[in-house]
């Protein structure tokens, strides 16, 4: 059933990227949770999909991959059908696979995110934060013009960590940044200006990824690419198209999300000065700040599954083959789970029995880089609070036009250079 929006003027279309341009439409999601928590969203260019807006339904679907498939052959993890997408001929990466195969591919790179590995990375992450902050201070001393926080800090910070994971020079970060924007910016002409541009970017990324494969085949290291090479040598099926799609997944998953969390966190802290003061006064709260930022922002707005059999969700019959889209941005503000869900509260997760947010997904495909992302957020804010205590947004953010990534393209900031 298609319903009228709470204003009663037009049907709700959660797929419309313009809906997210002013920010996540939390009122619309609240209305859906209360009135149509399993909402049929028609599509003009597709079969339509079930939109899940409640936390309990998102958790249930995420933990039942046999019934709710991510496999590319069933359509994959995006609202559009990946198996009908003709712009590339890549094979599925782990995010578009079901168990048991999914586990084999996930295991290949898990070694890159273990607690000891993350402990080893922390000093380098901190040094990068310090270097970027010092460059911002230099820029401030040279000019009074507002500084763009995204290009000066959150983007290079996330991409340089990715460069470390890949074992490539930080100077390759600009290329990785551009390719990643092209992949997720399908609805934003500033990121993907044309089909030709997309094809050229994908071609460049493929050449780059193949060069890395060749280099690591002769001289393996401890990086993610070497782990993929080793898995292939040990017998895991790794065709060139499969390797390329895995490479792209890692570039996009570890970059956009972390960048937008850091930028979005700065806005949330500015809008909630008492939370900002509490975080600055008590470093023990910073791991909780990282978690609350991801709940509050929901950097990934949704993921899609496909029903493999007739089933019910919240009493609503779902037919085999139907698309089911889990709106994390809504589940993370579900007031049947989170007390005062629209309040940015960095002490929330420090309370015993605090409910779990789904900003990193849940279940079978829960984010592989979750701990790394939380580490990066914590260290970023430790250094920003210590070195730029009066850092604040100085204007409105420019938002990515997307129904998938809650993205911030630029954010002017001010601070005193001391």
CB atoms within 10 A of CB 53: 30
Q: Is 239 exposed, middle or buried (0-12, 13-18, 19+ CB in 10 A)?
A: exposed
Strand 147-148 and strand 398-399: pairing? unpaired
Q: Which of 369, 393, 397, 407 binds ligand HEM (CB under 6 A)?
A: 369
Site map 244..283 versus ligand HEM, x via CB under 6 A = -----xx--xx--xx--x----------------------
Spatial separation of the C-alpha atoms in residues 202 and 118, rounded to whole Å: 30
Instruction: Please enumerate in sequence order all residues whose Cβ is within 8 A of that of 373, keeping only pairs 6 or more positions apart, or say none.
Output: 254, 257, 258, 261, 290, 294, 360, 367
Asked if 407 interacts with ligand HEM (CB under 6 A), we say no
Q: Which of 67, 69, 70, 245 binds ligand HEM (CB under 6 A)?
A: 70
DSSP letters for 26-46: HHHHHHHHHH-SEEEE--SSS
Spatial separation of the C-alpha atoms in residues 95 and 71, rounded to whole Å: 8
Asked if 296 interacts with ligand HEM (CB under 6 A), we say no
Tell me what percent of the chain is helix, strand and coil, each rounded to the nearest 5.
Answer: 55, 10, 35
DSSP letters for 104-151: HHHHHHHGGG-HHHHHHHHHHHHHHHHHHHHHHHHHHHH--SPEEHII
Asked if 94 interacts with ligand HEM (CB under 6 A), we say yes
Nearest approach, Cβ of residue 236 and ligand HEM (Å): 15
Site stretch for ligand HEM (CB under 6 A), options 7-15, 126-134, 142-150, 296-304: 296-304
Q: Which of 152, 373, 388, 400 binds ligand HEM (CB under 6 A)?
A: 373
Residue number, 24 or 415, with CB nearest to ligand HEM:
24
Asked if 202 interacts with ligand HEM (CB under 6 A), we say no
Q: Quick one: DSSP state of residue 310?
A: -
First to last CA, the chain: 59
Q: Which of 31, 177, 360, 385 binds ligand HEM (CB under 6 A)?
A: 360
Residue number, 75 or 369, with CB nearest to ligand HEM:
369
Specify which residues 392 forms β-bridges with: 414
Q: Which of 60, 95, 279, 285 binds ligand HEM (CB under 6 A)?
A: 95
Q: Is 175 exposed, middle or buried (0-12, 13-18, 19+ CB in 10 A)?
A: middle
Asked if 403 interacts with ligand HEM (CB under 6 A), we say no
Asked if 313 interacts with ligand HEM (CB under 6 A), we say no
Site stretch for ligand HEM (CB under 6 A), options 14-22, 31-39, 317-325, 367-375: 367-375
Residue number, 94 or 408, with CB nearest to ligand HEM:
94
Residue 355 · residue 338 · CB < 8 Å: yes
Q: Which of 21, 81, 88, 106 binds ligand HEM (CB under 6 A)?
A: 106
Spatial separation of the C-alpha atoms in residues 37 and 57, rounded to whole Å: 9
Question: Among all residues, whose Cβ is closest to ligand HEM?
Answer: 369
Asked if 79 interacts with ligand HEM (CB under 6 A), we say no
Q: What are phi and psi of 348, to 5 degrees?
A: -50, -50
247 closest CA partner among 199, 282, 212? 212
Q: Which of 92, 227, 294, 346 binds ligand HEM (CB under 6 A)?
A: 294
Site stretch for ligand HEM (CB under 6 A), options 20-28, 138-146, 226-234, 362-370: 362-370
Nearest approach, Cβ of residue 369 and ligand HEM (Å): 2
Q: Which of 77, 128, 288, 295 binds ligand HEM (CB under 6 A)?
A: 77
Residue number, 226 or 257, with CB nearest to ligand HEM:
257
Site stretch for ligand HEM (CB under 6 A), options 125-133, 171-179, 357-365, 394-402: 357-365
Residue number, 266 or 367, with CB nearest to ligand HEM:
367
CB atoms within 10 A of CB 369: 23
Nearest approach, Cβ of residue 77 and ligand HEM (Å): 5
Residues that bind ligand HEM (CB under 6 A): 70, 77, 94-95, 106, 165, 249-250, 253-254, 257-258, 261, 294, 299-300, 303, 359-361, 365, 367-369, 372-373
């Amino acid at each position: 059933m298609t319903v009228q929006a709470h204003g009663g003027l037009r049907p709700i279309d959660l797929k419309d990227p313009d809906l997210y341009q002013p920010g996540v439409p939390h009122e619309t999601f609240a209305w859906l949770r209360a009135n149509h928590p399993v909402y049929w969203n028609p599509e003009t260019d597709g079969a339509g999909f079930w939109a899940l807006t409640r936390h309990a339904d998102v958790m249930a679907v995420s933990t039942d991959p046999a019934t709710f498939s991510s496999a590319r052959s069933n359509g994959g993890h995006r609202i559009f059908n990946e198996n009908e997408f003709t712009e590339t001929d890549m094979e599925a990466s782990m995010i578009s696979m079901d168990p048991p195969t999914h586990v084999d591919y996930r295991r290949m790179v898990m070694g890159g995110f273990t607690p000891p590995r993350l402990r080893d990375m922390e000093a380098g992450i901190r040094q990068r934060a310090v270097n970027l902050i010092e460059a911002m201070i230099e820029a401030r001393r040279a000019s009074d013009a507002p500084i763009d926080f995204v290009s000066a800090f959150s983007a290079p910070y996330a991409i340089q960590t990715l460069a470390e994971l890949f074992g490539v020079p930080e100077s390759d970060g600009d290329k990785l940044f551009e390719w990643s924007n092209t992949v997720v910016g399908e609805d934003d002409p500033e990121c993907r200006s044309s089909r030709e541009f997309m094809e050229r970017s994908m071609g460049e990324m493929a050449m780059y990824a193949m060069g890395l494969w060749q280099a690591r085949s002769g001289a393996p290291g401890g990086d993610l690419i070497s782990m993929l090479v080793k898995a292939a040598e040990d017998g895991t099926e790794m065709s060139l198209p499969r390797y390329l799609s895995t490479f792209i997944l890692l570039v996009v998953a570890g970059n956009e999300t972390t960048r937008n969390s850091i930028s979005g966190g700065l806005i949330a802290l500015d809008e909630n000065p008492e939370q900002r003061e509490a975080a600055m006064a008590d470093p023990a709260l910073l791991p909780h700040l990282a978690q609350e930022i991801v709940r509050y922002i929901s950097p990934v707005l949704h993921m899609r599954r496909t029903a493999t059999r007739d089933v019910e969700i919240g009493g609503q019959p779902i037919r085999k083959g139907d698309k089911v889209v889990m709106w994390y941005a809504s589940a993370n503000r579900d007031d049947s789970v989170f007390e005062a869900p629209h309040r940015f509260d960095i002490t929330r997760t420090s309370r015993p029995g605090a409910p779990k947010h789904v900003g990193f997904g849940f279940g079978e495909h829960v984010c592989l880089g979750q701990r790394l992302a939380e580490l990066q957020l914590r260290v970023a804010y430790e250094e920003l609070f210590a070195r730029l205590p009066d850092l604040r947004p100085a204007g409105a953010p420019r938002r990515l036009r997307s129904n998938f990534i809650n993205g911030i393209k630029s954010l002017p900031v001010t601070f005193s250079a001391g």
